Amino acid sequence: MSLLTRNAVLALGITLLIIGTVTYAVHYMDQQRLADITAIEARLSTDTLSLETQFSLLENAPCENLSEGTSFSKELSDLGDRLSFAEGRLGSNDPQVVQLKKEYVLLEIRDYLLMQKLSKTCAVKPVTVLYFYSNAGDCSACDRAGYALSYLRQTYPHLRVYSFDYNLDLGALKTLVAVEKVKDTLPAFVIQGKLSYGFTSLTKLEAAFPKSAFATSTATSTVGTN
C-alpha cells in the first residue's frame, strides 16, 4: 500500500470516527433532553393536580378556617420556579414548556380570582400585582422589572405577584388582558387594580403600591417572575 493510499485510508478512518462521535453525542443529548422534559412534566403534573385540589378545598372552606397555614401560595411559587428552570433549560419556545406554562398561567389566574373572592367574603386583604412581560425580544426593561418584583416579593412576604407572558396564546389570558385593559406596552403592571406601564427603577415601582398595602396585607406571596 502506497503512502498516499495509507494516508487517505487514515484520513477516512478519522473522519468516520469524528462523525460517529458527533452522532453519538447528539443522540445522547437528545435522550438527556427527553429525560429532562419527562421528569419536569411528571413533577409539574403532580404539583398541578395538588394545587387544583387545594383550590377546591379553599373555595369551600369557611372563612374562620382560612389562615396563613392553609395557604398554598408557597407551593405555587415553587411551581413557578421549577417552570422558570425548565424554560431556561429547554427554551421558551419548546412545545412542552409552552404547554406547561399555559397550565401554570391557568393556576395563577384561578388563584388571583380566588383571592378576589376571599377579599370580598372573608377578612383577607391581599396585596396583588399582575405583571405582564414579553420574551419576544421587544421588551428591553422586562428583565429588570422581573428582578425588581422578585426583590419586592422576597422583601414583603405578603405580596402576591402574578406574572404573565403577554404573547402566550391562551384564551383565559387574553380574556384577563381584555378585562384589565392591558395594552401591549410592556412591561405592564396592575397594582391593586391600578394599571401602569414601563419600568425605570425599583424605587419608583415600590412607590406605585399604596402606602398602607404591605402593612395591612394578610396573604402570602405566590408567583415567580419571568
Q: Is the pLDDT of residue 74 over 70?
A: no
The pLDDT tens digits of the residues spanning 6-54 come to 667 777 778 877 887 777 666 566 566 556 666 666 666 676 677 677 7
pLDDT of residue 39: 67
pLDDT band at 89 (very low <50, low <70, confident <90, very high): confident
Amino acid identity, position 162: Y
Q: Is the pLDDT of residue 190 over 90?
A: yes
Q: Is the pLDDT of residue 204 over 70?
A: yes
Q: Are 103 and 111 in contact (CB under 8 A)?
A: no
CA pair distance 193, 7, nearest whole angstrom: 75
Q: Are 63 and 123 in contact (CB under 8 A)?
A: yes
pTM over 0.75: no
Query: Taking residues 81-89, what's their average pLDDT?
Result: 73
Q: Are 183 and 169 in contact (CB under 8 A)?
A: no
| More confident position, 220 or 213 | 213
The pLDDT tens digits of the residues spanning 94-142 come to 787 788 888 889 888 888 888 887 777 777 777 889 999 998 889 999 9
- In b/e form, how buried is each residue of 72-97, taking b as 16+ CB within 10 angstroms? bbeebbebbebbbebbeebeeebebb
| More confident position, 1 or 122 | 122
pLDDT of residue 16: 77
Backbone angles phi, psi at 15, to 5 degrees: -60, -45
pLDDT of residue 170: 94
Average pLDDT in the chain: 77
pLDDT of residue 217: 44
Could you give the domains of the chain?
A: 3-216 (3.40.30.10)
pLDDT band at 72 (very low <50, low <70, confident <90, very high): low
| More confident position, 194 or 5 | 194
Query: Taking residues 138-160, what's their average pLDDT?
Result: 88
Q: Are 133 and 166 in contact (CB under 8 A)?
A: yes
